Amino acid sequence: MAAKITPRLIELTYEAALQSYWRRKALRKFLIASHISNSFILEWSEDESKRDLLDRLFQKLQTTDKGKAVIFQMARNLSEQSSFPDLRNWEDSEQKTQNAHKAVQELKLYLSLQDAEITSERERLKVQERAQAEKELVKRSLTDRAKLQQLLDAMHSRVGTQEGGYEFENWFYQSLDFCELQNRRPYKIDGRQIDGSLTHEGTTYLVELKFTKDQSGAKDIDSLKAKVNKMADNTMGIMVSISGYSSVAISEASGSKTTLIIMDASHLYLFLSGAMKFGEIISRMRRHASQTGEAYLPVSKFHA
């Protein structure tokens, strides 16, 4: 079985596990059923995300033949899934289920092709040698920070276009999924288009995304304010404008009991650099807004 453990199989197994289980309890049950030691699972602290746990687990499993056999069995078990009970009863269950189906189908196809290719012991040995040589090249997943930055960088030529706007929207929610921030993709309510929402530290934020060449202005701020004001009291708004804001827009967003946090490209690249988690950026800006009434906090003043 160790002969079949290639970097691609590890990546697909990792992604299928990540997309199939969103609740910590469900992931624990799967790991126990996969014969992961109880002592390892007990080390999972509350402040460690499931992505970080899986990073540690997969790195450890790759160091021994026994661990590689566990990866292989996990791959087989994940590929046999036809439903995803843990993905039910989320606001974006449909999207989560689609992502899980895609990940599982890719894994299943790879296993099928691999089974067809490896028809003799000699071929298995060749695969084992390639896997050993490529071990250091194994990447965490298709949505790590470096790839997210590459995707965003590639979009800059399409700023101001409808195509670019849709790409940016998809990129933003892909980033929230990477950060394991609860979110809901775009939806409509009472005829109003909502670009989506995210929930962090007990507060739900309506999201407004601007991928325009011009800075966002006061009208954009007023539009988001109107949407937020129709929601429950603990609802706030987050606007992300790739080209920044006019001084009037920043003034309109700020004030006594402001319900808005406004971000620009510099905040996105602060997250992509690894300097701060996206949730930490939201918390820092929320704290600043509570203390000063200012909806915008430049990255240069984060540690002031």
Blockwise average pLDDT, block size 10, the chain, 304 residues: 75 95 94 93 92 94 92 94 94 94 95 75 70 53 76 95 96 93 90 90 96 97 94 94 97 94 97 92 96 96 84
Where does residue 266 rank: exposed (0-12), middle (13-18), buried (19+ CB within 10 A)?
exposed
Same domain, 218 and 284: yes
**Count of CA atoms in the C-beta half-sphere (13 A) of 52:** 10
C-beta pairs of 283-289 under 8 Å, 24+ apart in sequence: 283/200, 283/201, 285/261, 286/201, 286/203, 286/236, 286/261, 289/254, 289/258, 289/260, 289/261
CATH code for position 237: 3.40.1350.10
Domain C-terminal end among 138, 167, 196: 138
* 66: containing domain: 2-138
Same domain, 72 and 116: yes
Same domain, 29 and 93: yes
Determine contact, residues 203/182, Cβ cutoff 8 Å: no
pTM of the model: 0.69
Domain C-terminal end among 87, 103, 138: 138
Same domain, 246 and 224: yes
Same domain, 161 and 262: yes
Same domain, 10 and 102: yes
> How many domains does the chain divide into?
2
Same domain, 150 and 231: yes
Determine contact, residues 244/216, Cβ cutoff 8 Å: yes
Same domain, 192 and 217: yes
Q: What is the pLDDT of residues 22-52, one digit of tens each?
A: 999 999 999 999 999 999 999 999 899 999 9
Same domain, 61 and 191: no
Same domain, 129 and 9: yes
Same domain, 79 and 152: no
Q: What is the pLDDT of residue 3?
A: 46
Name 204's Cβ contacts closer than 8 Å, sequence gap at least 6: 197, 198, 231, 232, 234, 235, 236
Same domain, 151 and 214: yes
- DSSP for 241-286? ETT-B-HHHHHHH-STT--EEEEEHHHHHHHHTTSS-HHHHHHHHH
Domain C-terminal end among 138, 168, 192: 138
Report how far apart, in Å, the C-alpha atoms of 37 and of each of 15, 47, 57, 60 are.
21, 20, 10, 12
